């Protein structure tokens, strides 16, 4: 190699060798044993009106629209337990999930969406069989058959059973008082379906079928009665002579 070129490259070679040496040394430093200590700080959880920059205490805002604190407690679960009784009883954690809508706490708590999907399909199947046995095959798909498992009727079942008081959800508009526009009907209906789904998963299809027929459809506050009440409360079309 030309001596002039060798002289030009010599500083570059030395620099590369020095960098490689430093890299190797720093890598070895990482492997050396060290003693680490951890310290624990004290955090402040703010309660009361919201203050920007302060972390709020969960117990201050994780409450149902009726003011019931979120969590497993007699106050939150007793309405659902009364509805289910011993025959259809669910574990407390499952019951709390049944009562929690995905709108609550931005979906950070276990919510009932998948239970409701499962319960919805099972309920449609069982209600179709009920319609066939009660009114005949020709009534499948009629307005009356659809109304039994409509959103409004499913919501009324939850209302009549007293379960609505302990459902955890968030209104679309905090100032909205109309049950349909605020999303209450949709949330209550999903809770009815989630109850069916939870019973199906925890007790099997035979027990879930009994619940649908004996409690949900034909019970004292069942869907058949609720549908009848809603129909009777609606204004009837006037007939002209």
| 149 Cβ neighbours under 8 A, 6+ residues apart | 123, 124, 127, 223
The helix/strand/coil state of 99 is: coil
- In this structure, what token pair is assigned to residue 145? 């058959």
Q: Tens-of-pLDDT digits for all 241 residues of the chain? A: 556 655 555 555 555 555 555 544 444 444 455 555 555 544 544 455 565 655 565 666 788 888 899 999 999 999 999 999 999 999 999 999 999 999 998 889 999 999 999 999 999 999 999 999 999 988 888 888 899 999 999 999 999 999 998 999 998 777 777 888 888 999 999 999 999 999 999 999 999 999 999 999 999 889 999 998 888 887 765 655 4
Whether 101 and 185 have beta carbons less than 8 Å apart is answered as no
At a CB cut-off of 8 Å and minimum separation 6, what does 163 contact?
79, 80, 83, 99, 191
Is pTM beyond 0.75 here?
Answer: no
Contact (CB, 8 A) for 101 and 190: yes
Phi, psi of 63 (to 5 degrees): -135, 155
Whether the CB-CB separation of 116 and 197 falls below 8 Å is answered with yes
Which segments of 69-183 does DSSP mark as H helices, in order?
74-84, 92-98, 113-135, 143-148, 151-161
Element (H, E) at 207: helix 205-210
Cβ-Cβ contacts under 8 Å for 154 (sequence gap 6 or more): 188, 189, 192, 193, 223
> Three-state DSSP class for 41?
coil
Domains plus CATH for the chain?
A: 84-233 (1.10.1520.10)
Question: 232: which 2 tokens?
Answer: 């009777």
Measured CA to CA, the distance from residue 202 to residue 89 in angstroms comes to: 9
């Amino acid at each position: 190699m030309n001596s002039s070129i060798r002289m030009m490259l010599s500083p570059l070679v030395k620099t590369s060798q020095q960098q490689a040496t430093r890299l190797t040394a720093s890598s070895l430093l990482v492997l050396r044993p060290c003693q680490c200590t951890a310290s624990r700080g004290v955090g402040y959880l703010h309660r009361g009106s919201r203050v920007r920059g302060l972390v709020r205490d969960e117990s201050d805002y994780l409450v149902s629209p009726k003011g019931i604190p979120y969590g497993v407690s007699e106050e939150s679960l007793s309405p659902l337990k009364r509805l289910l009784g011993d025959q259809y009883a669910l574990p407390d954690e499952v019951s709390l999930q049944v009562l929690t809508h995905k709108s609550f706490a931005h979906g950070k708590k276990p919510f009932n969406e998948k239970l409701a999907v499962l319960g919805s399909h099972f309920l449609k199947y069982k209600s179709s069989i009920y319609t066939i046995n009660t009114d005949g095959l020709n009534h499948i798909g009629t307005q009356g058959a659809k109304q039994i498992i409509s959103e409004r009727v499913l919501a009324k079942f939850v209302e009549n059973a007293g379960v609505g008081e302990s459902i955890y959800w968030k209104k679309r508009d905090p100032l909205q008082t109309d049950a349909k526009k605020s999303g209450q009907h949709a949330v209550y209906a999903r809770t009815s379906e989630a109850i069916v789904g939870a019973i199906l998963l925890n007790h099997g299809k035979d027990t879930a079928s009994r619940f649908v027929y004996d409690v949900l459809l034909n019970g004292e506050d069942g869907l058949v009665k609720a549908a009848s009440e809603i129909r009777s409360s609606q204004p009837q079309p006037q007939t002209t002579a």
